[in-house]
Amino acid sequence: MKQNFSLIFLWVLVGTATFGQYAQLVNPFIGTGGHGHTFPGPTTPFGMVQLGPDTRLEGWDGCSGYHYSDSIIYGFSHTHLSGTGIADYCDVLIMPSSGDPTFVNLGVSGNGYASTFEKTKESASPGLYQVLLNKYQIQAKLTTTPRTGIHEYTFPKGTHPWIIIDLKHRDKLIQGGFTINKSNEISGYRISNSWAKEQHIYFNLITSMPFYKVQYSADSMQLICFFERPTDGKILLQCAISPVDMEGAKKNLKAEHMHFNFKKAYEANVKTWESMLSRIRIQDEQQLTKKRIFYTALYHTLMHPNIYQDVDGRFRGMDKKIHQGDLKKPRYTVFSLWDTYRAAHPLYELIYPEYNQLFVETFLEQFKECGRLPVWELAGNETYCMIGNHSIPVIVNAYLNHPKKYSKHLITTAIQKTLNQNFSG
């Protein structure tokens, strides 16, 4: 069966790709308008961090936090959903500014820290997003590693830089807080309620130069760091996240620390995308428009699911407990199975089988934790969104292709117990 599909595709998996050969065919802005609900910011294939601009705070077309028709950026957050019909994420918002500090994020009036921007001064490609913030003319560049976001902000001469970290942004904040570790290091956390009823996210960030002062909002859920302007105007920060705790975020940052070398981080990101996208190579070099559509679509299929496990192996399970997992079989999250069982998972099984195996093993481990296979899992929460049990065809297809890789007893037990439950959601 797999050979027949390969012949139908008429694509080959041989040859040597140049740097960015396939990545440059991707247009991350496709799907960000209309009702597409995608976002243009950088991420790595199936990465924990989806860093990008937030331009919309509410509404159905604000599910991803970004809409192409908008002209205001509220800040840059570290998690985004792509293509979903319900809003969540946009956690740990960071925004550079200068002049008089404010904790108010109002873009229309111009009195808050949000900024307008021009489409002609905005660009995106796999592993990179950049934009000029009209307010104070700050140039922002973003890239990512799997578990961290890397920001580069260039402030014009004569300005007094400050950067705000906003834990109240977007969904309902249940609990949160900050810890100042050093003059260039901050940790924090937020527990929130939205589509995922109890989402935990912890972070640890470092800045390329020390801040000389911090200022909290009245409720201590927002923090401003004040800096002297560097000679070249550039202030970089790297922010790691974790679903477990702040110690996990620290370990993630230490493991993926790029020493404020933005170019190196970006090139590593693109190399990863190139490796994944080049598994399918179109032979017809004349179909440039169709190739751009195809590789952008393939890019979007590789944004979710997302790794949900720290570098020390720990993760937060469906039972809300912290588990010690195997890094060779990491836990993943964001499974829109009602949408993906028909085409996305069969694609993974054909082209990215090692990842589909990890996704299936995630389902089976989630069954062990909560007694049923997942419906629509998000950040360790079962949302029970949509109907049916669409993890089952994904599991069965993977088992039929690679029966020796899975426990038949565990699969049959999980399917039977799931189907025999009297559950209404």
pLDDT at residue 26 in the model: 98
pLDDT at 327 over 60: yes
Cα diameter, the chain: 68
What is the domain-level CATH number for residue 319? 1.20.1050.60
Distance (Å, whole) CA 137 – CA 115: 10
pLDDT at residue 228 in the model: 97
Q: Residue 191's CB: how many other CB atoms inside 10 A?
A: 16
pTM of the full structure: 0.94
| 284 assigned to some structural domain | no
79, 133: one domain = yes
Higher pLDDT residue, 181 or 9? 181
319, 208: one domain = no
| 1 assigned to some structural domain | no
267, 312: one domain = no
Label residue 20 by pLDDT band (50, 70, 90). confident
202, 263: one domain = yes
| Inter-residue contact 32 to 64 (CB < 8 Å) | yes
Q: Which domain holds residue 170?
A: 38-274
| 16 assigned to some structural domain | no
| 86 assigned to some structural domain | yes
Instruction: Encode pLDDT of 80-110 as tens digits.
Output: 999 999 999 999 999 999 999 999 997 656 6
| 8 assigned to some structural domain | no
| Inter-residue contact 78 to 49 (CB < 8 Å) | yes
Task: Count Cβ atoms within 10 A of the Cβ of residue 187 and give its class: 0-12 exposed, 13-18 middle, 19 or more buried.
Answer: buried
344, 262: one domain = no
317, 230: one domain = no
Task: Give percent of the chain with pLDDT exceeding 90.
Answer: 90
105, 228: one domain = yes
| Inter-residue contact 362 to 332 (CB < 8 Å) | yes
Domain end residue (candidates: 256, 274, 292): 274
Determine phi and psi for 252, rounding to 5 degrees: -60, -40
- Residue 83, Ramachandran bin (φ over 0: left; ψ between -120 and 50: alpha; else beta): left
pLDDT at residue 6 in the model: 34
Instruction: List CB contacts of 184: < 8 A, sequence separation 6 or more.
Output: 206, 207, 208, 209, 210, 211
257, 350: one domain = no
Instruction: Encode pLDDT of 184-202 as tens digits.
Output: 999 999 999 999 999 999 9
Distance between first and last Cα of the chain: 36
Task: Give percent of the chain with pLDDT exceeding 70.
Answer: 94
| CB burial string 322-332: b at 16+ within 10 A, e below | bbebeeeebbb
| Inter-residue contact 195 to 88 (CB < 8 Å) | yes
pLDDT at 4 over 50: no
| 369 assigned to some structural domain | yes
pLDDT at 424 over 70: no
187, 265: one domain = yes
Establish how many alpha carbons lie within 13 A of residue 45's alpha carbon, considering only the half-sphere containing its beta carbon: 19
| Inter-residue contact 30 to 38 (CB < 8 Å) | yes
Which residue type sits at 18? T
Which residue type sits at 222? Q
pLDDT at 5 over 80: no
* Tokens, residue 267: 């090139």
Which residue type sits at 71? S
pLDDT at residue 285 in the model: 72
What is the domain-level CATH number for residue 234? 2.70.98.10
Closest by alpha carbon to 304, among 377, 198, 400?
A: 377
269, 338: one domain = no
| 378 assigned to some structural domain | yes
Distance of CA 234 to the CA centre of its chain: 25
124, 180: one domain = yes
For the chain, the domain total comes to 2
64, 208: one domain = yes
Instruction: List CB contacts of 133: < 8 A, sequence separation 6 or more.
Output: 73, 96, 115, 116, 117, 139, 140
| 58 assigned to some structural domain | yes
